[in-house]
Amino acid sequence: MIVTLTANPSIDRTVVLDSELICGGVNRARASVSDPGGKGVNVARVLTEAGVQAMAVLPVSDGDPLLKALTARGVRHCAVPTDGLARTNITISEPGGTTTKINEPGATLTEATKTALFDTIVDLGRDATWVALSGSLPPGVPSHWYADLVRALRSTACKVAVDTSDAPLLALAASFPESAPDLIKPNSEELAQLTGADAGELERAARAGDPTAAVEASRILLARGVGAVLATLGSAGAVLVTDEGAWFASPPSIDAISTVGAGDSSLAGYILADIERCAPGDRIRRAVAYGTAATALPGTTLPTPDQTHPDAVTVRALDLPGPTSLPAQLSSLPSSTPFDTQTLS
C-alpha cells in the first residue's frame, strides 16, 4: 500500500479560457471543472488509476464536498476529522499551456487534529511501502512538521518521499540528516531554494542538454543524507541522482495544455516504477512519462497508464565527477541557504 498525506487538501476548480487572460478585464470561460485536490491527493489519484492500492490521508470535516469527490473517483481515503471546509483553489488555463493559480490558505488545524493526523500517518506507515508527504501546510501547523514526521517514520519499514516548498522545505533541510527522506522531489525553484543555485540557469542548461548544474545541486542534498533526488526541470525533463549515479531524462515534444499536477504525476510515476523494482533509469523514465502526460491534459485531469509513453522519453546515464567533489561545493554555499539554521530563526 502507498500512503499519501495531504495536510492542506482542496477542491481544485479549473477555468479554461479561449484566449489569453486579461488582467483587470472581463474574461469568458470556455469550460470549468472541479476535482479533489492537493498534491498528495493527486499522487493517490494517479496511483489508483494505475491499479495500485493507495490511501489518501487528509484532514476533512463530515459533509465536506471533498469526501464525495474522492469517493466518486474511487480514491481510498482516511479522513481525519477537523473543523471547517477544505479550501478551494482556482486555476486559470490559457491557450498554450499558461496557467495562473490562486490558492486559498486553508482551514486552521487544531492541536487535536494535528496530533490525530500525525499519529494516523505513522500508524499507516508501518504497513506501507511508501509514504508520500506532499504539498503546503495549513495555518496552525509549524513549518518543521514534515521534518518531525520523517523522523517518526524512520521507526517503520516504509520509504518516505517529500514534495513541498518554501518554509516547510527549508525547515526539513535544516534538520538533515535526521529528517532526510528516501526521496525528495524538488522542481528547479525548490532545488535552488535548497542549494543556492540559480533556478533559471538549471532549466536553461538542461534544455541545452547539459544537466550538470542540476546534478551537482542534487548531490549536495545526497551529502546531507537524502537517499535520492528527483529534480523536475520543467520542459527540459528531470534528473535523478542517487548513490548509484545520475540520470537525465528528456521528454518528447508535446503541446502543453496545463502544468497542474505534473509534478505530482511524476512522483507517482517514480513510485510505480520503484514498487516494480525497476532500475534507476527506468524509474526516471516513468516519472517523466507521467509528468509529460499530465501537461498534455486539460485542467486538473491526471494521466492514466495508457496516456503515458515511457518509450518516447530519452534517458541518459551521466558520467560526471562523483561525490568526492562535494565538500568544496558545500563550503562555498551562500550563508542564506537552509543549511545555516540561523536563517530559520
Q: Is the pLDDT of residue 280 over 70?
A: yes
Give the separation between CA 45 and CA 23, rounded to whole angstroms.
33
**If pLDDT is split at 50, 70 and 90, which confidence band does 322 have?**
low
Note the pLDDT of residue 256.
Answer: 83
**Could you identify the residue written with the cell 489519484?**
45
Give how far the C-alpha of residue 103 lies from the chain's centroid of Cα atoms, to the nearest Å. Answer: 16
pLDDT at position 259: 83
Confidence of residue 336 (pLDDT cuts 50, 70, 90): very low
Is residue 343 scored above 50 in pLDDT? no
pTM, two decimals, is 0.90
- Secondary structure class of 287 (helix, strand, coil): helix
The DSSP output letter for 6 is E
**What would the pLDDT profile of 176-216 be if each residue is shown by its tens digit?**
999 999 999 999 999 999 999 999 999 999 999 999 999 99
Would the pLDDT of 221 be above 60?
Answer: yes
SS3 call for 167: helix
Q: How confident is the model at residue 321 (pLDDT cuts 50, 70, 90)?
A: low
Strands (E), 98-143: 99-102, 130-134
Short-list 262, 249, 242, 122, CA closest to 184: 242
Q: Which residues are catalytic?
A: 264
Q: 240-276, pLDDT tens digit by residue? A: 999 999 999 999 988 888 788 999 999 999 999 999 9
What are the tens digits of pLDDT across the range 122-136?
999 999 999 999 999
* Domains defined along the chain, listed by start: 2-17+32-344 (3.40.1190.20)
Q: Cα-flanking dihedrals φ and ψ of residue 74, to 5°?
A: 70, 25
Task: Please give the pLDDT value at position 96.
Answer: 77
* pLDDT one-digit tens code per residue, 42-73: 999 999 999 999 999 999 999 999 999 999 99
- Please give the mean pLDDT across all residues of the chain: 91
Query: How far, in Å, CA of 103 to CA of 89, rounded?
Result: 5
pLDDT in the model for residue 324:
39
* CA 212 – CA 202 distance, rounded (Å): 9
Backbone φ, ψ for residue 263 (5° rounding): -65, -40
Main-chain phi, psi angles of 216, to 5 degrees: -65, -40
Q: Which of 1-10, 12-21, 198-207, 223-232 has the lowest mean pLDDT?
A: 12-21
Is the pLDDT reported for residue 329 higher than 90?
no
**Average pLDDT of span 228-233:** 98
Amino acid 277: pLDDT: 98
What pLDDT does residue 125 have? 97
- pLDDT computed for residue 339 by the predictor: 41
Grid coordinates of 237: 525533463
Is the pLDDT reported for residue 237 higher than 50?
yes
